[in-house]
Amino acid sequence: NAGVTQTPKFQVLKTGQSMTLQCAQDMNHEYMSWYRQDPGMGLRLIHYSVGAGITDQGEVPNGYNVSRSTTEDFPLRLLSAAPSQTSVYFCASSQTSGDNEQFFGPGTRLTVL
Protein backbone atom coordinates (compact mmCIF):
# COMPACT_ATOMS: atom_id res chain seq x y z
CA ASN A 1 0.00 0.00 0.00
CA ALA A 2 1.20 3.47 -0.86
CA GLY A 3 -0.97 4.95 1.91
CA VAL A 4 -1.82 8.61 1.37
CA THR A 5 -0.08 10.31 -1.52
CA GLN A 6 -0.01 14.00 -2.35
CA THR A 7 1.16 15.85 -5.42
CA PRO A 8 2.96 18.10 -6.00
CA LYS A 9 5.44 18.28 -3.13
CA PHE A 10 6.26 21.90 -3.85
CA GLN A 11 4.44 24.59 -5.80
CA VAL A 12 4.93 28.30 -6.41
CA LEU A 13 1.99 30.32 -7.69
CA LYS A 14 1.38 33.92 -8.54
CA THR A 15 -1.49 35.77 -6.93
CA GLY A 16 -4.71 35.03 -8.79
CA GLN A 17 -3.62 31.75 -10.30
CA SER A 18 -5.63 28.62 -9.69
CA MET A 19 -4.40 25.11 -9.05
CA THR A 20 -5.41 21.75 -7.67
CA LEU A 21 -3.59 19.85 -4.96
CA GLN A 22 -4.01 16.14 -5.46
CA CYS A 23 -4.59 13.60 -2.71
CA ALA A 24 -5.16 9.88 -3.08
CA GLN A 25 -5.36 6.95 -0.69
CA ASP A 26 -5.41 3.24 -1.37
CA MET A 27 -6.70 2.03 2.01
CA ASN A 28 -10.40 2.25 1.13
CA HIS A 29 -10.89 4.89 3.82
CA GLU A 30 -14.17 6.72 3.74
CA TYR A 31 -13.07 9.77 5.71
CA MET A 32 -10.65 12.21 4.11
CA SER A 33 -9.64 15.69 5.09
CA TRP A 34 -7.42 18.61 4.16
CA TYR A 35 -5.44 20.65 6.67
CA ARG A 36 -3.15 23.59 6.39
CA GLN A 37 -0.22 24.03 8.73
CA ASP A 38 1.19 27.44 9.50
CA PRO A 39 3.91 28.35 12.03
CA GLY A 40 2.49 28.78 15.50
CA MET A 41 -1.03 27.89 14.39
CA GLY A 42 -0.96 24.12 14.40
CA LEU A 43 -3.18 22.22 11.98
CA ARG A 44 -6.38 23.81 10.76
CA LEU A 45 -9.07 21.83 9.00
CA ILE A 46 -10.05 23.19 5.58
CA HIS A 47 -12.56 20.66 4.24
CA TYR A 48 -13.43 17.08 4.92
CA SER A 49 -15.43 14.25 3.40
CA VAL A 50 -17.14 11.25 4.99
CA GLY A 51 -17.54 9.42 1.70
CA ALA A 52 -17.83 9.75 -2.05
CA GLY A 53 -20.18 12.59 -2.95
CA ILE A 54 -20.19 14.08 0.56
CA THR A 55 -18.06 17.02 1.61
CA ASP A 56 -18.25 19.60 4.36
CA GLN A 57 -16.44 22.69 5.48
CA GLY A 58 -13.90 22.77 8.24
CA GLU A 59 -12.47 25.65 10.19
CA VAL A 60 -10.91 27.65 7.32
CA PRO A 61 -12.73 26.81 4.05
CA ASN A 62 -12.70 30.22 2.34
CA GLY A 63 -10.78 30.25 -0.94
CA TYR A 64 -10.80 26.48 -1.29
CA ASN A 65 -13.07 23.98 -3.02
CA VAL A 66 -13.18 20.22 -2.78
CA SER A 67 -15.01 17.36 -4.42
CA ARG A 68 -15.11 13.63 -3.77
CA SER A 69 -16.13 11.70 -6.84
CA THR A 70 -14.37 8.51 -5.78
CA THR A 71 -13.39 6.93 -2.47
CA GLU A 72 -9.72 7.17 -3.39
CA ASP A 73 -9.33 10.80 -4.44
CA PHE A 74 -9.93 14.09 -2.65
CA PRO A 75 -8.50 17.05 -4.58
CA LEU A 76 -8.25 20.53 -3.10
CA ARG A 77 -8.74 23.46 -5.46
CA LEU A 78 -7.47 26.96 -4.96
CA LEU A 79 -9.69 29.16 -7.09
CA SER A 80 -7.66 32.37 -7.03
CA ALA A 81 -4.50 32.03 -4.99
CA ALA A 82 -3.62 34.69 -2.43
CA PRO A 83 -0.40 35.18 -0.44
CA SER A 84 -2.38 34.26 2.70
CA GLN A 85 -2.67 30.76 1.29
CA THR A 86 1.07 30.23 1.48
CA SER A 87 1.25 27.21 3.73
CA VAL A 88 1.96 23.51 3.99
CA TYR A 89 -1.07 21.42 3.09
CA PHE A 90 -1.71 17.95 4.43
CA CYS A 91 -4.24 15.42 3.34
CA ALA A 92 -5.36 12.71 5.77
CA SER A 93 -7.65 9.72 5.69
CA SER A 94 -9.24 7.33 8.17
CA GLN A 95 -11.91 4.71 8.46
CA THR A 96 -15.35 5.84 9.55
CA SER A 97 -15.73 2.99 11.99
CA GLY A 98 -13.42 1.29 14.43
CA ASP A 99 -9.91 2.65 14.58
CA ASN A 100 -9.80 6.44 14.52
CA GLU A 101 -6.23 6.76 13.34
CA GLN A 102 -5.77 9.41 10.69
CA PHE A 103 -3.09 8.64 8.12
CA PHE A 104 -1.31 11.65 6.71
CA GLY A 105 0.26 12.34 3.37
CA PRO A 106 3.74 13.88 3.12
CA GLY A 107 2.39 17.37 2.48
CA THR A 108 2.51 20.00 -0.25
CA ARG A 109 4.46 23.19 0.39
CA LEU A 110 2.73 26.03 -1.44
CA THR A 111 4.08 29.53 -1.90
CA VAL A 112 1.92 32.27 -3.36
CA LEU A 113 3.81 35.33 -4.55
Partner 1 sequence: AQSVTQPDIHITVSEGASLELRCNYSYGATPYLFWYVQSPGQGLQLLLKYFSGDTLVQGIKGFEAEFKRSQSSFNLRKPSVHWSDAAEYFCASGEAGNNRKLIWGLGTSLAVNP
Residues in contact with partner 1 by the rule CB under 8 A: 4, 31, 33, 40-45, 48, 50, 58, 90, 92, 94, 96, 100-102, 104-107
- Closer residue to partner 1 in complex, CB, 18/96: 96
Cis ω for the linkage preceding 61 (within 30 of 0): no
From its phi and psi, is residue 6 left (phi > 0), alpha (psi between -120 and 50) or beta? beta
* Least distance between partner 1 and beta carbon 15 (Å): 26
For the chain, how many helices (H) and strands (E)? 0, 11
Count CB neighbours of 110 within 10 A.
20
* Least distance between partner 1 and beta carbon 42 (Å): 4
- Closer residue to partner 1 in complex, CB, 21/92: 92
